[in-house]
Amino acid sequence: MFDAALADAVAAVSTRLSQRLAPVEGTLGEAMRYACAGGKRLRAFLVLEGAALHGVDRAPALDVAAAIEAMHSYSLVHDDLPCMDDDDLRRGQPTVHVKWDQATGVLVGDALQALAFDLVAGADLPDARRLALLAGLARSAGGAGMVLGQVMDIAAETAATPLTLKQITRLQALKTGALFDWSATAGPVMAGADPAPLRAYARDLGLAFQIADDILDVEGCETRTGKRVGKDDAAGKATFVSLLGLDGARGEAQRLTDAACDALAPYGAAADRLREAARFVISRQA
C-alpha cells in the first residue's frame, strides 16, 4: 500500500515539476531539471497524504507537493557547495556545482527556491489558505527554520567542544525537521483543519529520519545512498550515532517512529500509509 502510494507521488510530482521547468531556458533550465531529478519524494508524499486525509483536491495538492520538492532540491544544491558541506555526489550523480560550476549551483538554488513559492502562490486554494502556506514555507525554510539549522551545523564544525544531544536535536529539528513539519501539515492547512496531529507526527518523523541518515553515514553504501558516507566521522562532527552509539541511535529512532504513529490516532486506519512511511524512514537503505 505504501510502496504504491509513494511511487504514485514520485511520478505525479516529477511530472508537475517537469511541466513547470520545461520553459526555463539554457544552462539554467538544464541544471534545474538535473537538480530536481530523482530522490525519494518523501516530503511530497506527506503533502499528498495529508491532503487526501482532509479531502483536498488533487490539483492544488500537487502544486504544493511540487513546491516542497523544489525547495528541498534547492537546499541540497546549496548544502553541497564547497562553502558548506562540499559534497561531490548527490543521488548517485555529480553535484550541480561539480557538473557545472559554483555560480551555476548558487543560481540554480536561488531559482528553485523562487519556484517553490511560485507553485504555492499559483495553487487553486482560497486566498487565506495560500497565504498561510506561503508564510509557513518562508518560516520553515528561512532564518527561523532550515537555514538557521544549516548555520548551526556549520558553526558546530569548528566549535571548541562537540554539541550535546539536546543541541543536536534542536539543530536537526530545524535543518531537517522544519520542512517535514511544513510538508505534513500542508494538507490540513489547505483544508482549514487542525494541523496539530500531523505536526506532532512530523516532529518525531523528522528526527527519526535524521537519525537514520546518521546511521547510514556509518553503515551505508555509497552505491545505495547515492552520496558520500563516513563524512561526519571524518570531520569529527557530533551526531546521534556518536552520542548514542549505533544501538542507542536505532533504539531512539524506533521510539520516535512509534510516537509518530501514535500521533496519528485521530485519523484511525485512514492514516495507515503515513504509519508505513514512518517505518520506511528508519528501515531505508538510501
Domain that holds residue 171: 2-283
Domain count, the chain: 1
* CATH code of residue 82: 1.10.600.10
Retrieve residue 137's grid coordinates.
514555507
Mean pLDDT, range 258-276, rounded to an integer: 98
Instruction: Encode pLDDT of 111-163 as tens digits.
Output: 999 999 999 999 999 999 999 999 999 999 999 999 999 999 999 988 989 89
β-partners of residue 90 are 93
Q: Which of these, 99, 85, 89, 79, lies nearest to 225 by C-alpha position?
A: 89
DSSP H helical segments within the chain, as ranges?
2-21, 26-36, 42-53, 58-79, 96-99, 102-121, 127-141, 146-157, 165-175, 177-191, 196-219, 222-225, 231-235, 240-263, 272-283
Counting residues of the chain whose pLDDT is more than 70, the rounded percentage is 97
pLDDT (0 to 100) of residue 234: 63
DSSP 94: E
